[in-house]
Amino acid sequence: MGKRYYCDYCDRSFIDDLEARKKHLNGSMHMRLRKEHYDSFRDPQTLLAEESAKEPCKRFLHTGECVFGSNCRFTHFSRQQLQDLKQQIEEAEREQEMKTLKNGIPEGDTASILASWLQHRTQRQLAAQLKPESKQLWELPPSLQVRLDLPPSLHPITVDSFTDADFEEWG
């Protein structure tokens, strides 16, 4: 027995043959069901723009059904549904504005924010270069700080130890 091809859109299976698959994929029922599937994932702004431009479908309003389905030239949304969709879009936009305000970064002004950040960064780096390092780089462990019989190599290094040092010449 040959392999079978299952179409998720149509909920149907048939023999997995190149000709049969091409015939099914180009069929009007498959194309309509595939379009309905992807239309269910459209963003609300696009949906509102397309549906509000159409006139209401009289057949759908009277009977609740339309033989054309999603291919109908008229809208199957009522005025109330379009209003609800519009409110949903406005709420989403308000939430997005609140997010950007909470972050303190307006969305469209990223170039000036980046420029000011870079300017502050270079100023901090210049200030750090001009400041002399005054902290001690090496410290004795606390257990050795108490001992007085340390060899000279373990004594803490001070500035005076460099100025008083006699460096021998080699060579």
Residue 60, number of CB atoms within 10 A of its CB:
19
* Residues 131/150, Cβ–Cβ less than 8 Å: no
**Tokens in use for 114?**
């980046």
Residue 129, number of CB atoms within 10 A of its CB:
7
Residue 140 burial (10 A CB sphere; 0-12, 13-18, 19+): middle
Map out the domains of the chain as residue ranges. Answer: 1-41, 43-106
Q: What is the pLDDT of residues 13-67, one digit of tens each?
A: 999 999 999 999 999 999 989 988 988 888 999 989 999 999 999 999 899 898 8
Give the DSSP H/E element, type plus range, for residue 12. strand 12-15
Global confidence as pTM: 0.46
Q: In angstroms, rounded to a whole number, what is the distance separating the alpha carbons of residues 38 and 68?
A: 17
